[in-house]
Amino acid sequence: PPPLTCADLAGRTQTDSCGQDADPSDCDSYFKWKGSGVAKLCYGPVDGKTTCSSTTIEGCEAPTAAPTSAPTVAPTAALSCGDGGDCTCADLAGRTEVAKCKKADTDDCAASFAWKDESSGLARLCYGPVDGETKCSQTEVEGCLPPPSPPPPLPPPSPPPSPPPPSPPPPMPPPLPPPSSPPSASPSPPVTAAPTFAPTAAPTAAPSLLFSPSPPPPS
């Protein structure tokens, strides 16, 4: 056996028998406590054996039992309403109303619900299909209000406004008339000089040299 001492107890796991209970693939991890400072340390397997062997050592302190940790259990994820977990009225949001859950689309059971009594707020939420079933299952919730209507689909975006047609070219101005020549001055009629007449002198009576008789004096 290899030279083993009490110090080699550290880190080993206590077992009832090195040859029967210890793991042959890891013999050096086990020991058997016999009491009164006597322990058997496991080792091996030695040639030709398939189980662990042991060697006895004395004068050891009783080993402190290693705290055994409880196996860690992975927390179970809470089932959602769509998987058959607890459902509330809030789970109505976004679901589509159907006549019965068994008639809902089995590819998406959790997207549907059915009213059992809408006036009293009793609804059935669909889920599943569960193992072995080919149709959706259902669970009931109470005190619910009708789910809000989904918003109407947005209208398709309007096409961009078409550009206005090009403006027709402005009408061409009418052609200008040819420049008119200045009116020619009509020839003035020749000025005819008025005939001049020499003044005619009135004939002067020649003075009479004869004396007229004086009238007779009154008588």
Confidence tier at 70 by pLDDT (50, 70, 90): very low
pLDDT range class, residue 68, cuts 50, 70, 90: very low
Q: How far apart are CA 146 and CA 142, in angstroms?
A: 12
Average pLDDT in the chain: 77
pTM summary value:
0.33
Q: Give yes or no for residue 148 having a pLDDT over 80.
A: no
The answer, yes or no, to whether residue 62 has pLDDT greater than 50, is: yes
Contacting residues for 152 by C-beta, under 8 A, at least 6 apart: none
Can you name the residues that pair with 33 across neighbouring β-strands?
39
Cα 83 to chain centroid, rounded: 29
pLDDT single digits (tens) 124-146: 888 888 887 888 888 888 888 87
- Tens digits of residue pLDDT in 104-120: 888 888 888 998 888 88
> Model confidence at 30, in pLDDT bands (50, 70, 90)?
very high
Residue 17 has pLDDT above 80, yes or no: yes
pLDDT at 194 over 50: yes
